[in-house]
């Protein structure tokens, strides 16, 4: 088998990532009735693996998904695919789908076969490296709002990307790098795959609602606490956000990324701000801490 482009674990066996698939009647496809989590392998070790597993289990519980695999088996599958791929820097996804109904067309979610699968590919930067180096340009979507948390729980990782996709097209039409969505009440929410932070009067501010409680977000908050930077987790009106001295994004795929422009407003004369730089460097330093790293088990084999 060739795993140089990535590997997958599905139906109890190891396969090349290009061979992984789900059926056309699977509710994960037809209803987006599915959850997932993504953990990064950085320099041959998972970063904060147990935190990602905690969140994955919480997401499955919230959606009443119960795959056959327990936590130990899921952890083992992740080690297996990364070991098979030979990748020392990798983007690793764990997924649980509602599955196909026992009777085609039935509407009872209890009669679907929940199933787990996982896959890995080379490390992914959600915001490309060249953009991160020069500083990102965000566009605040005007034509679409973030799906309300009273409709879809944003703390459960999901594939409900209709709002993000519409927002991305709008951002690209404006020449921006990516999009930031606001909630129905006009407060800042999140972007496609990232949380946002603002630095105002020496304080670090990030939204409390309508966003995923990201593992990278948590790491940045911990880094801020260690550095003695005051933190506010609260509702952030868009006007308040735009008046920040610095803005940056946070995502597992690439870590903190400075933002130098939002719409037509320039920040820091187009260069990374000092607090952003401090926290970005602190984040990458934290990825080397042995207590937060789980070395890839290269001899694991679940086939």
Contact 115, 73 (CB under 8 A): no
| Residue 169 domain-assigned (yes or no) | yes
Q: Is the pLDDT of residue 64 over 50?
A: yes
What is residue 74's three-state secondary structure? helix
Residue 296 lies in a domain: no
Is 158 found in the same domain as 79? no
Residue 32 domain flag: yes
Q: Is the pLDDT of residue 301 over 60?
A: no
Q: Are residues 183 and 263 both part of a single domain?
A: yes
Cβ of 70: how many Cβ atoms within 10 Å? 11
The total domain count for the chain is 2
CATH of the domain at 87: 3.30.470.10
Both 138 and 98 in a single domain?
A: no
Q: What is the pLDDT of residue 1?
A: 55
Q: Which of 101, 108, 85 is nearest to 29 (CA)?
A: 101
Cα–Cα dist 251/240, whole Å? 22
Domain for residue 223, yes or no?
yes
106: CB partners within 8 A, 6+ apart = none
- 23 in a structural domain: yes
If you ran DSSP here, which 8-state letter would residue 130 be given?
H
Q: Quick one: CA dihedral 231, 272, 182, 236, positive or negative?
A: positive
In a shared domain, residues 96 and 57: yes
Q: Cα–Cα distance between 196 and 180 in angstroms, integer?
A: 8
pLDDT at 300: 47
- Say what the pTM is: 0.95
Residues 199-221 pLDDT 10s: 999 999 999 999 999 999 999 99
Where are the alpha helices (H) located in 152-232, listed in sequence order? 162-173, 215-227
Domain containing residue 187: CATH number: 3.20.10.10
Residue 109 lies in a domain: yes
| Together in a domain, 61 and 163 | no
Report the DSSP beta bridge partners of residue 92: 39, 120
pLDDT in tens, 234-264: 999 999 999 999 999 999 999 999 999 999 9
Q: Is 51 strand, coil or helix?
A: helix
Q: Are 67 and 142 contained in the same domain?
A: no
Q: Do the beta carbons of residue 125 and residue 253 sit within 8 Å?
A: yes
Taking residues 68-77, report their average pLDDT. 98
Contact indicator for 273, 267 with CB cutoff of 8 Å = yes
Give the mean model confidence (pLDDT) for residues 218-234: 98
Residue 303 has pLDDT above 70, yes or no: no
Cα–Cα distance measured from residue 52 to residue 119, given in angstroms and rounded to the nearest whole number = 15
Shared-domain flag, residues 142 and 253: yes
Does residue 266 share a domain with residue 147? yes
pLDDT of residue 10: 97
Domain that holds residue 145: 129-286
Where do the H-state alpha helices sit in 178-299?
215-227, 238-242, 274-286
pLDDT digits (tens, 9 = 90+) for 101-155: 999 889 999 999 999 999 999 999 999 999 999 999 999 999 999 999 999 999 9
Question: Which letter, b or e, does each residue of 214-229 get, where b requires 16 or more Cβ atoms within 10 Å of its Cβ?
Answer: bbbbebbbebbeeeeb
* CA–CA distance, 229 with 179 (Å, rounded to integer): 27
Same domain, 172 and 265: yes
Q: Considering 124, 148, 172, which residue would you say is the last residue of a domain? A: 124
């Amino acid at each position: 088998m060739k795993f140089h482009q990535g590997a997958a674990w599905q139906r109890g066996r190891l396969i090349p990532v290009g061979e992984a698939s789900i059926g056309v009647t699977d509710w994960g496809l037809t209803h987006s009735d599915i959850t997932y989590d993504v953990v990064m392998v950085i320099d041959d070790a998972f970063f904060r693996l147990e935190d990602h597993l905690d969140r994955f289990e919480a997401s499955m519980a919230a959606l009443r998904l119960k795959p056959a695999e327990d936590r130990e088996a899921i952890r083992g599958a992740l080690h297996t695919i990364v070991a098979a791929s030979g990748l020392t820097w990798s983007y690793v996804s764990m997924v649980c789908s509602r599955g196909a109904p026992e009777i085609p067309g039935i509407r009872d979610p209890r009669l679907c076969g929940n199933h787990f699968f996982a896959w890995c590919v080379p490390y992914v930067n959600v915001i490309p490296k060249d953009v991160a180096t020069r500083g990102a340009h965000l566009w605040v979507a005007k034509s679409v709002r973030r799906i309300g948390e009273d409709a879809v729980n944003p703390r459960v990782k999901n594939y409900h990307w209709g709002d993000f996709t519409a927002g991305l097209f709008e951002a690209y039409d404006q020449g921006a790098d990516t999009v930031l969505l606001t909630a129905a009440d006009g407060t800042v929410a999140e972007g496609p795959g990232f949380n946002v932070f603002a630095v105002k009067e020496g304080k670090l501010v990030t939204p409390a609602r309508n966003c995923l409680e990201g593992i990278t977000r948590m790491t940045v908050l911990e880094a801020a606490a260690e550095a003695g930077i005051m933190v506010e987790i609260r509702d952030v009106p868009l006007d308040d956000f735009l008046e920040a001295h610095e803005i940056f994004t946070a995502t597992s795929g690439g870590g903190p990324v400075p933002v130098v422009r939002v719409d037509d407003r320039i920040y820091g004369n187009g260069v990374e701000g000092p607090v952003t730089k401090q926290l970005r460097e602190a984040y990458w330093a934290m990825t080397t801490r042995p207590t937060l790293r789980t070395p890839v088990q290269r001899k694991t084999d679940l086939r």
